[in-house]
Structures are given as structure tokens and as C-alpha cells.
Amino acid sequence: MSPEDTDRWPEGQEPALRRDDHVQSGRLRRRAEEILQSQAPDLEGLTGEGLLDLAHELQVHQIELELQNQALRETQLALELARDEYAGLYDYAPVGYVTVGGDGTIARANLTAASLFGVESNGLVGEPFRRFVARDDQDAYHFFLVRLEASGRETAELNLIRGDGSPFRGRLQGVVSGVDREGRPGWRVALSDVTAEHETRETLRLVVEATAPVIGHDFLRTLMRHLARLLRVRYVVLAEFDGRRSQMRTVAVWADGDWSENCSFDLTDAACGLAAAGQTTFFAS
């Protein structure tokens, strides 16, 4: 669009940036006229040559101001682009980002955090962070804040609550971000859902605790039962080959939450038989 075309916008429908420029220009002009009236220049005694020099200096100064104004416009545009890029990176980061004020309320949160808690994009702002901590972990949350204030940086895992009341395990990586007027520290936190990781660790812990006091056949059965839970599978089969590796007999079979009877089966042309013979085997179905 040419400069001439920019002057053809209907009154009141100019682009927002252009209207703002007009408003700002009018304010500056009125301010300049006020200053000029209070500081009237003394032009007495100036010759014609002096007036020409003065006019030249004014023109040069005007061009300098226009160049400065153009530089400011370009800087403002660059800042707006950088702001938009940062906002996109912030909102769609792979982890949730939450800023908490000194009073414990959420001052800012990205879209990932809102999604983790199952609320609208602005559904976290203004809410106390404590509201999203499970009742059983309120004390753990308190001591997390104590350690965070003391060290400036702290990590903890807490049981958190979504907007619909469903629980999940969250990892909080917090850092202190200054204090408010009352001297209370605010903090920022990177938040991620580690429910699956937590459940795996808990299951492994249960496996170790459950199998530690048992030996022999009971050890294997206990291990199989907990492995089924860990791997989230319906069946776990423990079997042994015969001397020729042509047949296999089960030692224990965990199926659909209970023990099944042992059995023997032929390995000829079976997937287990090919694998037992050291062959790489793939079945599409």
C-alpha cells in the first residue's frame, strides 16, 4: 500500500497503529505549542541569512526526529514480534509453567498447566495453588515451600487434584522469584505429570517388599503376580523346556487375576519353538 493509499481510509476506520500515531502526534504538538508560548524565541536582530540558517537547522532537526521516530517504530515492532514468539513458546511448552505470588495465589499459568489441571486457559489465575494439592499432601506442600524459601530452589512430588477432582502425581520444580511488598516470597514452578513413573516405582517397591521374605516356588509366584500388575498384562507364564527343547511345560500361570493349572505344549513350528532355537521370529498377528 502506497503512502497516498494510507490517507484514503474512511474516518474512524484507519488501522489501529495509524490512529494511535495521530493521537500521539496531536498530543505532542499541543505540548510543543505550550512550551513554545512559554519560551518565545527572540528573533530581533536576525538578518535574512540568519533566518535561512535557522530554517536549515530546524529542517535538519525535523529530519533527525523523523529518523528517530522510525527507529523507535522498528524497535517497537521487533519487541512485539519477540513478545509473540515468547508467548507461543511459553504457552505451548511441554511442561506446565505457573507463577505464584507471595500470598500463595496463582498469578500466571501457561496453557500446558491449565491442561494438566483440566481447566480453561485462565482457570488457574487468582486461585490458591494449595487448592490443587491433595488433602493428604497438604503438609508435604507446606514443607516444600519452607525448603524452597530457604534454598531458593526445590523439587518435590505431590499428589495433585484436577479441576474435576481426579488425582494425578505431579513433579514440582520451583524457584523463588522475588518478594512482594509484604516481604513474602513468590515463586515459579515447572510442573509435569509423573503419574505413570510414580506408579511404576511404587509397583517395583511392592515387588521388592513382597518377594524379599519368600523363597523357592512362592518367590516365583509372588514375582509373577506383581509383574502382571507392573506390566499391566492379563497373563504371565513361567515355563521350562524339556531336554530337546521340543516341548515346554509351565511352572506357573497367572491369568486374569488368578492362578491357572499348568500344562505342556509342543514347540514344533510354534513361535516359542523358533525363538528357543535362536531364530528371529515375527508374527504379524
For residue 80, give its domain range. 45-91
Q: Could you give the CA distance from residue 117 to residue 109 in angstroms, rounded to a whole number? A: 11
Q: Are residues 181 and 104 in the same domain?
A: yes
| Domain assignment present for 178 | yes
Q: Could you give the CA distance from residue 216 to residue 252 in angstroms, rounded to a whole number? A: 12
Of 58, 91, 124, the residue at which a domain comes to its end is 91
* Secondary element (H or E) of residue 154: strand 153-161
| Domain assignment present for 108 | yes
| Domain assignment present for 146 | yes
Q: Are residues 64 and 101 in the same domain?
A: no
Total number of domains constituting the chain: 3
Per-residue model confidence (pLDDT) at position 178: 81
Q: Are residues 124 and 166 in the same domain?
A: yes
Q: Are residues 122 and 183 in the same domain?
A: yes
Q: Are residues 100 and 85 in the same domain?
A: no
Of 169, 193, 217, the residue at which a domain comes to its end is 193
Q: Are residues 188 and 115 in the same domain?
A: yes
Asked if residues 166 and 150 have their Cβ atoms less than 8 Å apart, the reply is no
| Domain assignment present for 268 | yes
| Domain assignment present for 27 | no
The domain spanning residue 106 has which CATH number?
Answer: 3.30.450.20
| Domain assignment present for 225 | yes
Q: Are residues 219 and 246 in the same domain?
A: yes
| Domain assignment present for 34 | no
Cell output for 251: 511352572
Q: Are residues 184 and 116 in the same domain?
A: yes
- From first to last of its 285 residues, the chain has per-residue pLDDT tens of 444 444 444 455 455 545 565 666 677 777 776 766 666 566 666 666 767 777 777 888 888 888 888 888 888 888 887 777 776 677 888 899 999 999 999 999 999 999 999 999 888 999 999 999 999 999 999 999 999 999 999 999 999 999 999 999 999 999 998 888 888 889 999 999 999 888 888 877 877 887 788 877 788 888 888 888 777 889 888 888 877 777 888 888 989 889 888 888 887 777 777 777 777 766 665
| Domain assignment present for 1 | no
Contacts 24+ apart (CB under 8 A), 158-163: 158/133, 158/134, 159/133, 159/134, 160/117, 160/132, 160/133, 160/134, 161/131, 161/132, 161/133, 161/134, 162/116, 162/117, 162/118, 162/119, 162/132, 163/117, 163/118, 163/119, 163/123
Of 58, 75, 91, the residue at which a domain comes to its end is 91
Cβ neighbours for 68, distance < 8 A, ≥ 6 positions apart: none
Phi, psi of 56 (to 5 degrees): -65, -45
Asked if residues 219 and 237 have their Cβ atoms less than 8 Å apart, the reply is no
Cell output for 13: 476506520
Asked if residues 176 and 187 have their Cβ atoms less than 8 Å apart, the reply is yes
Q: Are residues 184 and 106 in the same domain?
A: yes
Q: Are residues 100 and 160 in the same domain?
A: yes
